Amino acid sequence: MNLLSSLLSSTTLFRHGLLHKSWTKLVLYVLPSIFSISLFAQKTTIQGQVLDGKSKEPLIGANIFLVDTYDGATSDADGKFKFETEESGQQVLLVKYLGYDSVSQQVSLNGGVFEFNPKLRESFNELKVVVISAGAFEASDERKVTVLKPLDIVTTASAGGDTYGALKTLPGAQVSSGDQEGLFVRGGSGTEAQTFIDGMLVRTPFTASTPDFAARGRFSPFLFKGTVFSTGGYSAQYGQGMSSALILDTQDLPDRSAGTLAVSCVGLGFGQQKVWKDKGRSVGGSVNYTNLGPYFALIKQTPDFTHKPQYLGTEGFFRQKTAKNGLLKFYGYYNAGRVGFNTMAPDSSIFGFDVKNANTYTNLSWTGFLNEQWKLNLGSSFSHDRNDIASSYNTGALGPDTFNIQNSLTQFRAVATRFFGRLTTLRFGGEYQFATDDFKNQLGFDSKLRDHYAATFAESDVYITTQLVARVGLRAEHSSLLGQARIAPRVSLAYKLGESSQVSFAWGHFYQKGDSLLRWQSQFAGAIPGFQKAAHYILNYQYIKDERTLRLEGFYKKYEDLVTTREVLANDGQGYAQGLELFFRDKKTLKGVDYWISYSWLDTKRQFQWYPVEAQPTFAANHVATLVAKKYFPGIRTSMGLAYNYATGRPYFNPKSDFLVDRTPDYHNLSVNASYLTTVRKAFAVFVIGVTNVLNQEQIFGYRYSPDGQMRTAITPAAKQFFFVGAFFSWGTDRRQEVLDNQN
């Protein structure tokens, strides 16, 4: 417009002949006005220095410019910049710098020099914000400050591809519990550690239990994008685990359609998933067949297997993006199998055991955002587990006892989260669980337990500053079976000491039902026992810098109202656990080597179940240490790993000495593995070999005595070593063009 009016005015002048009379006037008055908007437009110099608002250090390489113009500059080594612009009037100056919040300012330009000294604030960066670390180990690809990555779970040598196996290499967990499934955390029994998938309790996370041999986790580690292993002091969102919570979050929409094939010395697996990126949908499924028959034929096992372990499993997924930035997820699982064996009892009689198991698990959840402030999680889950057991365990005779054990869990859960600013949140919600537990044996014992369990909770993460956070939560629980309600307060605090270190503290009360012990209620006098209780006190120090992590944690735990089975079923037990733990992970010192060391010292005693006095329980070792090391050799595309697990002896029951004063020999297990990554045609392939207990050391978990106490047999693994050979293939199943279109 300026241009046009000048043009008009100059032609007008010309036409009116004014130019003839005095072109000098023109030079004096008109030309400058033209030039000011054209050739020699009035220039403004914009200059200054960009500083970090906090440290006052200059920021090098910041981009300073006038919005919607080409004019701008980059700050130099002193954070200084200078540029000229022909723009005038109201403009917007913007400063951008990678990793910092942009700063914009309205300016009025009218020539001369404009001084601008912006101070930038570092963007929200989770590395700079304190997080509650007391009692929690997290494995996630999404969050940066985690001790583990999901891949660590599958590449840890002693884990055997089992999530629980990998978690045993972390402090707080027992490593020598090869005779029972579950995580034995800080003096707690295996049943005191609960597993949650997408917030919901999993009743039977392990495959069918057999006496003296630990079962594996049911779910593949590849199902989960995030894992939090809490060894205490966990969030009020979760309940019914007195010592530990394993919180697993299932994967969201996968990146691409793919097929997978797994072939190993113990079975076969085949999976397919299809992704429609445009529709935000994916559907997938897999079939897995496990048969240890061929392996047992090759490698001799101590027990005489009458039915070699054999399982057939199938899984299905469905994921759909919905309105409200939401995601609907369904996961369904069914697995059935059988295992049977005979072993020699201490009195030379044969102990026989045979279990047929069928397990169903489903999980349906929806997460979405109602608006910027509100997030909603809704979930429901159903599971059913059936065991048909034949055994000669009780009678000692060869004629089998039979048991039929069935349990189910139906649950609903809703959690609302309100965000206040970037960090502070308030969560509240509730859950309802209907649990059944049916137990029948051939002697006519028939127990049917039904429990309606309801809980409600509220919890807030209050960031007082980015350095100080408090998590305050309250959980109220009620069980119809127990006829009891409890309120469990939980508090955590974390304070960032410096850029790389922080301290946190956690305290809380944790209640739990008496689990399968309650079945025997009808055999005992008295009412069904109430909630058992544990109180946790945890102090944690964490240092993370340059690929090095150090964690030190001390804890004290007090148990009350543990269920005892001496004369009556009652809440007469109690106990304590205290200890110190160390975790050190280092990916830096040795080039290409990633290793971690865990050490736990545990002092614990308890009186529970049938214990006549308070004693260190059979599942607790005083000292546990682990070394895990991995090295990736890019030249040969091979990753090698080793894990060394050590534990001092565990107490065992010896009828001839005082109660639980004897200790098994120390436990040693050195495992190694190697994975070779390659391509076979268009498929990604990983070839894996692994051996546990390379040094072939004797591992004794305890002893079983004859009724007269004269003879005993050692409880050992079914074989000293386990060899694993397998290959995993995955390939994109879309036509190539589709893959391309999908990832746009």
Partner 1 sequence: MKKTLSIFTLVLFAISLQAQTPNEKFVKAMEKALSGMDTLKTSEQWLAASNNFERIAQKEPKEWLPAYYVAFCQTMAFNMGQDKTKYELFAKRAEEFVDKADALNPDNSEIYVLKSMVSGLFIRINPMVNGQKYGPVAGIQLEKAKKLDPENPRAYMQEGATLLFTPAQWGGDKVKAKSTLETAAAKYETFKPASSIHPNWGKKSNEMFLEMANK
Residues that bind partner 1 (CB under 8 A): 3, 7, 10, 14, 19-20, 23, 26-27, 31, 34-35, 37-39, 60-61, 63, 65, 67-72, 74, 96, 98-99, 141, 149, 151, 255-256, 632, 634-637, 639, 677-679, 682, 684, 730, 732, 736, 739-740, 743-744
Bridge-based pairing of strands 570-586 and 548-564 is: antiparallel
Q: CB nearer to partner 1: give 84 or 446.
A: 84
CB atoms near residue 199 (< 10 Å): 23
Residue 84 tokens read as: 């000229």
Least separation in angstroms between CB 3 and partner 1: 5
Least separation in angstroms between CB 273 and partner 1: 14
* Cα separation, 35 vs 452, whole angstroms: 86
Q: What is the DSSP string of 408-438?
A: EEEEEEEEEEEEETTTEEEEEEEEEEEEEEE
Least separation in angstroms between CB 544 and partner 1: 13
Least separation in angstroms between CB 467 and partner 1: 21
* Cα separation, 622 vs 574, whole angstroms: 19
Q: CB nearer to partner 1: give 151 or 416.
A: 151
Least separation in angstroms between CB 76 and partner 1: 9
* Cα separation, 693 vs 671, whole angstroms: 5
Least separation in angstroms between CB 6 and partner 1: 8
Q: CB nearer to partner 1: give 450 or 637.
A: 637
Residue 402 in contact with residue 388, Cβ under 8 Å?
Answer: yes
Least separation in angstroms between CB 19 and partner 1: 5
* Cα separation, 174 vs 181, whole angstroms: 11
Q: CB nearer to partner 1: give 31 or 627.
A: 31
Bridge-based pairing of strands 623-633 and 662-663 is: unpaired
Segment (H or E) for 735? none
Query: Residue 174: phi, psi to the nearest 5?
Result: -80, 140
Least separation in angstroms between CB 274 and partner 1: 16
Q: CB nearer to partner 1: give 71 or 315.
A: 71
Of 430, 504, 410, 532, nearest to 474 (Cα)? 430
* Cα separation, 672 vs 628, whole angstroms: 10
Long-range contacts of 211-215 (CB under 8 A, 24+ apart): 211/353, 211/393, 212/179, 212/343, 212/701, 212/704, 212/715, 213/178, 213/179, 213/717, 213/718, 214/177, 214/178, 214/179, 214/180, 214/181, 214/182, 215/181
Map residue 364 onto helix, strand or coil: strand
Least separation in angstroms between CB 333 and partner 1: 24
Q: CB nearer to partner 1: give 15 or 656.
A: 15
Q: What is the dihedral of CA 346, 347, 350, 351, to 10 degrees?
A: -50
Q: CB nearer to partner 1: give 60 or 344.
A: 60
Residue 596 in contact with residue 551, Cβ under 8 Å?
Answer: no
Residue 129 in contact with residue 59, Cβ under 8 Å?
Answer: no
Q: CB nearer to partner 1: give 13 or 344.
A: 13
Least separation in angstroms between CB 308 and partner 1: 34
User: What is the per-residue burial (b if ≥16 Cβ within 10 Å, else e) of 267-285?
Assistant: bebebebbbebeeeebbbe
Residue found under tokens 């009412």: 527
Least separation in angstroms between CB 272 and partner 1: 17
Q: CB nearer to partner 1: give 436 or 733.
A: 733
Q: CB nearer to partner 1: give 63 or 467.
A: 63
* Cα separation, 581 vs 597, whole angstroms: 11
Least separation in angstroms between CB 492 and partner 1: 28
CB atoms near residue 123 (< 10 Å): 12
DSSP 8-class letter at 724 = E
Q: CB nearer to partner 1: give 22 or 373.
A: 22
* Cα separation, 535 vs 460, whole angstroms: 20
Residue 581 tokens read as: 């733990």
DSSP 8-class letter at 373 = S
Q: What is the DSSP string of 616-685?
A: --TT--SEEEEEEEEEEEGGGTEEEEEEEEEEPPPEE--TTSSTT-EEPPPEEEEEEEEEEEEEETTEEE
Least separation in angstroms between CB 684 and partner 1: 6
Residue 558 in contact with residue 605, Cβ under 8 Å?
Answer: no
Q: CB nearer to partner 1: give 154 or 494.
A: 154
Least separation in angstroms between CB 10 and partner 1: 6
Least separation in angstroms between CB 44 and partner 1: 17
Q: CB nearer to partner 1: give 157 or 355.
A: 157
Least separation in angstroms between CB 652 and partner 1: 42
Least separation in angstroms between CB 637 and partner 1: 5
Q: List C-alpha distances in Å: 502 to 126, 540, 551.
A: 14, 8, 10
Q: CB nearer to partner 1: give 422 or 682.
A: 682
Q: CB nearer to partner 1: give 309 or 732.
A: 732
H/E/C letters for each residue in 471-522? EEEEEEEEECCCCEEEEEEEEEEEEECCCCEEEEEEEEEEEECCHHHHHHHH
Q: CB nearer to partner 1: give 257 or 391.
A: 257
Q: CB nearer to partner 1: give 194 or 257.
A: 257
